Structure 1
Amino acid sequence: MKNMFSNSLLASLVLTLGVGPMAQAQTPASLAPQPGTSPMSLSLTQAVRYAVTNKSSLLATRLAEQTAAAKVGEIKAQGLPQLNIGANVADNFKLQKSLVDVGAFGGGGSTVTPLTAADIAAAQAGQTVNIAPVSLPAVPLPPQAIAFGLQYAGNTSASFSQQLFDGSYLIGLKAAKVYQELSKKQTQQAEIDVVEQVSKAYYSTLVARSRLVLLARNVQRLDTVLYQTNQTFKAGFAEKLDVDRLRVQRNNLVVEQQKAQRLTELSVALLKFQMGLPQSQPVQLTDSLGAAVVDAGNLRRHLGVASFGTGAGPDGLGNVPTAPAGLGQNATGGAPAPGINTGQGPQAQAAFNYNNRIEFSTLETQQALAGLDLRNRQSGAYPRLSLTAAYGFIGSSNSVKDLFAFRGPESRNGNGFPNQNWFGFGNVGLALNIPVFDGFRRRYQVQQARIAQQTIEKGMETLRQSIDLQDAQSRTNLVNALDVLDNQKANLDLAADVARVTRIKFNAGVGSNIEVITAETSLRESQTNYYAAIYDVLVAKVDRDKATGELYQQAK
């Protein structure tokens, strides 16, 4: 188990680095990195706050939230009065003609008065001439092609409409608000993920940094033993083989120290990435590993389980308690006896509040949206009523200059005749639209909406089962991690005591060099296992808080 801590931490780094693309985020003035300045001091709370404020992925999520708010305004605007103003000018360079039955305007025979040359001569001679009118038969006229309008024409108008009743609009208002709420919950979900990632990265950095300090102390202690052994060898009371063994041990320890140094640097780089902090910005963690380690006793009492070894908390180790017959049941087979661990904590035995999990709350909001969509499809059969109005002017002329003269009804030409070229018009009314038959399109849309709603209901049931599993799994993992931590702490104390006694015996000349090397190796393995156990407990605690929905509240 010598490399268990390094392997587990490296694995967590690799898995976490794959969460998404890296992008620099905006930086608040309070924590803005200044080139060439001192390192940024960060506690876990500050790191989480910075990440929630500046992580680029969260900024993109908040932009989507703003888009949802704008969508609500767009839907509300559909129910407000709609006013439009338009103008148009056209050059009818080739006027369209229409056939007109001119005979329909009147007709029949015509009367003419014939006048001959003799009649004219008699009239000039002063004689009276009687001219009798002659009636001509009616001649039918074919339809005539007539062009209406003038070459240049223009119009300008203002139109108004107000929606009076539309079932889809009313449901759309409700859906818009629910959609905005869904967007906020999705942002909260993204924030929870960021809090989890930053917390784990911060803890891994604390553990790696503490282990690096401990390795440096081990190197110093081994250097002392090596120096004493070398002096003893020079005095002729030790063999060269003892010195060489210690040198080999020191070389291996130095290599392990270098690997731990690189691992610590990688942990810091991961923390910066999860925070959205530029890699060039130096940081200094202000929290200590001792302050981050959870109170195992209180945590066990909260979980409702016994501690490993003692059954009463992390203090001391004793005999592991044995469960009575019946796996925790009383003699009558009823409820478990008081104080016996049943594997379920008090909060697990009570009804679990699924709404504490943002995933479940988000799915409930999606279900509400699906219900509103179904109602919207059904409301497509309702009538729609709108108020409409329009007012404008239209004009025409044979020249552009004359078109823009804008002559009204009082205008007269040189001969005193009306010379108006622009005329006003207006209307107001109600528009009623009653859907009658759409080829069963709405029927199939309603079916699809019902299926979508049923699909979400099945998804909620699956999510409930998944949350139950995560709750039980996170609880078990945390309990196991606490038990392993107790065990590794006891092993570390024993290994440290064995190494201390072995060094005393070796310095007194009653112990061998092999015993010292073996004891030091066991001590380092115990230290590695102990720090790995601490990291596992911290990660299991984060997973547990996320499974119960408490992680986000703690971060806030």
Structure 2
Amino acid sequence: MKNNLRVLLLAAGPGLLAPAGAALAQTAPASQPALAVQPTAGNMPLSLQQAVAYAIQNKPTLLATRLGEQTARAKVGEIRSAGLPQVSVAANVADNFKLQKSLVDFGALGGGSSATTLTPADITAAQSGRTVNLGTVSLPSEPVPPQAFAFGLQWAGNTSASVSQLLFDGAYLIGLKAAKVYEQLAQKQTQQAEIDVVEQVSKAYYSTLVARERLQLLSRNVQRLDTILYQTNETFKAGFAEKLDVQRLQVQRNNLVVEQQKAQRLTELSVALLKFQMGLDQSQQVQLTDSLSNALVDAGSLRQRLGAASPTTGGGVSGLGGVPTGTAPASTNTADQRQQDQQTALSGARTGQLAAAFNYNNRIEFSTLETQQALAGLDLANRRAGAYPRLLATAAYGFSGSAKEAGDLFAFRGPDSRSSNGFPNQNWFGFGNVGLSLQIPVFDGFRRKYVVQQARIQQQTIERGFETLRQSIDLQDAQSRTTLINALDVLDNQKANLDLAGEVARVSRIKFQEGVGSNLEVVTAETELRSAQTNYYAALYDVLVAKVDRDKATGELYSQAQK
């Protein structure tokens, strides 16, 4: 029982210090999403919510994690079974082909030998016809040495049933408490795996949306360039343009087609990655139903949530620079607190208001570490319980028999059996017993003392891990906040560059068509436009990924994926 409990308590041993360096996630709801779709013969419609729900239900790594959860429940059942009655049945048959002998002192059973006395008077009386009573006397004799004697018969059998019931065991009582905690730990590990899958699927889905949108934009660019090339070629045939102008546009088109082909392959690769993260077969065709416009975030409201000012307006869409409304810590000096918050914000950390609004319990690692701490406490109590006595109730009943021949052994003759001459010939006899077994540990060479020390140190190590985990969460929170703000700034800048590049390309085409601009100017403008488009979509993807990382850092990723 104690060994089983120790295995249960130490099953999470490799992960006791994991929060200090492990990937950070957040708590997921216990209920499973109800939006999962099933593979179909044709295109399977797939929104982000459906992709997440399908992955949670079908991702092989998650299925393996849930098997681990079932294993934990089975281990709990194993621990609880130690408190139920233990029943065993045994039977055996033995051929004593050489019986063991023992020395027996027969002389101790009665000493000497006897003889009859006959005197001359007795002889005379007998000759005269009278009756004579003869007497006996004991004669001294040499003592008989112990003799070897074999007890039992060649064939022997035994069958019995025994029952034991645990009445008191301190380790078992602690094991009952640890069973529920251990099961909770397995459930939280499953939740953390689900959160990781949500993150992976979300990023893969956004990557596919961006790749698809960029591919469509490249297709429109090719069509637009084909139109310009056709017009320039017709102008060349009419003698109003140089062949060099046509060749420049042809080179531009060839490069654009190659870029389009590369984008097509990258889009296919993005879809394959999405299927992999979902646990979906690669042969299944999918149709993404969400659009990139729906995935875009409200930069203004998001900046207000982050407490960050817009680089253009100074404070989100309204320019007011709103910040979260969490209750700030009490301070006797508001000016000093404001200055401290400004310095903290400049360093990338959370201000007092943001820190007050942050809840560490939203992170699954924090809850998991609390569960591991509880298990460590139970492990310590279990090792201390090794000094408690252990009491069991026992009972047994069975039969044993013997015979000279194997066939005679299985005759199973009871107490009413008689031989042909009337003598009892019973060969099987019953036996039974009931009792209590009390085991009291007295001295184990100080072993328990040292294992208790180890358990206490392990518990202290976990307690130190809480501070490390808080620092890790604070760091990821600051990093995700800074990364998202930077990504929003870059996106705003790239959007402005894209608008400017589009306007420059439009004006350049008009000037060329009107004969007041050069073909080189059009080629240059188109090149800059494609560069701006590439930078814009890269910045857009960075924002979406940074938003996922931010939601993960604050413990909102799972709930955000369901909206």
- Same-fold status (TM-score > 0.5): yes
Q: 1:407 to 1:82 in 2, by over 3 A?
A: same
Q: Which residue of 2 aligns with 1:407?
A: 413
**Contact 1:383-1:432 within 8 A present in 2 as well:** yes
Equivalent position amino acid for 1:261 in 2:
Q
- 1:74 equivalent in alignment to 2:78: yes
Match for 1:103 among 78, 85, 107? 107
Q: 2:309 aligns with which of 306, 311, 314?
A: 306
SS in 2 for 1:363: helix
**SS where residue 375 of structure 1 aligns?**
helix
Contact between 2:213 and 2:292, CA under 8 Å: does it hold in 1? Answer: yes
Contact 1:303 1:345 in 2 (8 A): no
Check if 1:42 corresponds to 2:46: yes
Q: Deviations over 1:438-461 (max 9, x none)?
A: 011111111111111122222221
- Alignment equivalent of 2:177, drawn from 160, 174, 177: 174
Is this contact kept in 2: 1:305–1:345, CA < 8 A?
no
Superposition map of 1:236-385 within 5 A? 236-314=239-317, 333-336=335-338, 343=345, 344=350, 348-350=354-356, 352-385=358-391
The 1:494–1:299 alpha-carbon spacing in structure 2 relative to 1, beyond 3 Å, is same
Closer, same or farther in 2 for the Cα pair 1:134/1:431, shift >3 Å? Answer: closer
Aligned amino acid, residue 314 of structure 2: G
Deviation, structure 1 residue 346: 7.8
Matches within 5 A, 1:527-542: 527-542=533-548
The answer (yes or no) to whether the contact 2:494–2:535 under 8 Å persists in 1 is yes
CA deviation vs aligned residue, 1:509-528 (integer Å, no higher than 9, x gap): 11111211111111111111
1:405 CA drift (Å): 2.0
Structure 2 contact 35–49 (Cα < 8 Å) conserved: no
Secondary structure in 2 matching 1:415: coil
Residue 57 of structure 1 pairs with residue 58 of structure 2: no
The CA deviation at 1:308 is 2.2
Give distance in 1, aligned partners of 2:335 and 2:352: 21
Please give the per-residue CA displacement for 1:65-116, whole angstroms capped at 9, x wherever unaligned.
0000011111110001111111112221211111122223232x33212789
1:493 maps to 499
Q: How far, CA to CA, are the matches of 1:272 and 1:177 in structure 2?
A: 36
1:87 to 86, 91, 101: 91
Displacement of 1:488: 1.0
Which residue is 1:462 aligned to? 468
> Runs of 4+ in structure 1 displaced over 4 angstroms?
28-32, 119-132, 339-342, 344-347
* 1:307 positional shift: 1.6
Corresponding residue of 1:11: none
1:419 shift after superposition: 2.1
SS at structure 1 position matched to 2:157:
strand
Q: Distance in 2 between matches of 1:423 and 1:241?
A: 117
**Matched position secondary structure for 1:364:** helix
Output the CA distance in 1 between the equivalents of 2:203 and 2:367. 25
SS in 2 for 1:336: helix
Q: Does 1:197 align with 2:203?
A: no
Tell me how far apart the structure 1 counterparts of residues 42 and 351 of structure 2 sit (CA, whole Å): 47
Q: Distance in 1 between matches of 2:515 and 2:39?
A: 57
Q: Distance in 2 between matches of 1:218 and 1:88?
A: 89
Aligned to 1:443: 449
The question of 1:548 aligning with 2:551 is answered: no
Between the aligned partners of 1:106 and 1:154, the Cα distance in structure 2 is 35
Shift in Å, 1:311:
2.1
1:139-150 mapped onto 2 (5 Å cutoff): 139-150=142-153
Of 415-424 and 447-456, more deviation after overlay is shown by 415-424
Q: How far did 1:313 drift? A: 2.5
How many percent of aligned residue pairs carry the same amino acid? 76
Deviation for aligned residue 1:402: 2.2
The structure-2 alpha-carbon separation of the partners of 1:184 and 1:120, relative to structure 1 and needing over 3 Å to count, comes to: farther
3-state SS of paired residue (1:379):
helix
What secondary structure does 2:392 align onto? strand
Specify the SS of the correspondent of 2:338: coil
- Deviation for aligned residue 1:49: 0.8
Structure 2, unaligned stretches of length 5 or more? 1-33, 321-332
Q: Conserved in 2, the CA contact under 8 Å of 1:304 and 1:341?
A: no
Q: 1:415 to 1:555 in 2, by over 3 A?
A: farther
In 1: Cα distance, 2:222 partner to 2:353 partner: 47
Separation (CA, whole Å) in 2 of partners of 1:553 and 1:436: 56
Q: Take 2:123 and 2:101, find their aligned partners in 1: how far apart are those partners?
A: 45
SS in 2 for 1:350: helix
User: Conserved in 2, the CA contact under 8 Å of 1:168 and 1:379?
Assistant: yes
- Once the two structures are TM-superposed, the CA of residue 52 in structure 1 deviates from its matched residue by 0.8
Cα distance, 1:481 vs. partner? 0.8
Larger mean Cα displacement after TM superposition, 373-382 or 238-247: 238-247
Paired AA for residue 61 in structure 1? T
Letter in 2 for 1:229: T
Aligned length: 510
Partners in 2 of 1:79 and 1:554 — Cα distance? 45
Whether the 8 Å contact between 2:36 and 2:50 is mirrored in structure 1 is no
Q: Equivalents in 2 of 1:121, 1:29: separation in Å?
A: 130
CA distance in 2, matches of 1:439, 1:342: 56
- Aligned CA distance change for structure 1 residues 147 and 342 (closer, same or farther; 3 Å): closer
State the SS of the aligned residue for 2:432.
strand
Secondary structure of the structure 1 residue equivalent to 2:517: coil
Matched-pair contact (CA < 8 Å) for 1:354–1:464? yes
Of residues 479, 483, 493 in structure 1, which corresponds to 2:485?
479
Are 1:453 and 2:452 matched, yes or no? Answer: no
Q: RMSD across aligned C-alpha pairs, in angstroms?
A: 2.7
Letter in 2 for 1:334: D
Paired residues of 1:354 and 1:360 also in contact (CA < 8 A):
yes
Between the aligned partners of 1:465 and 1:254, the Cα distance in structure 2 is 50
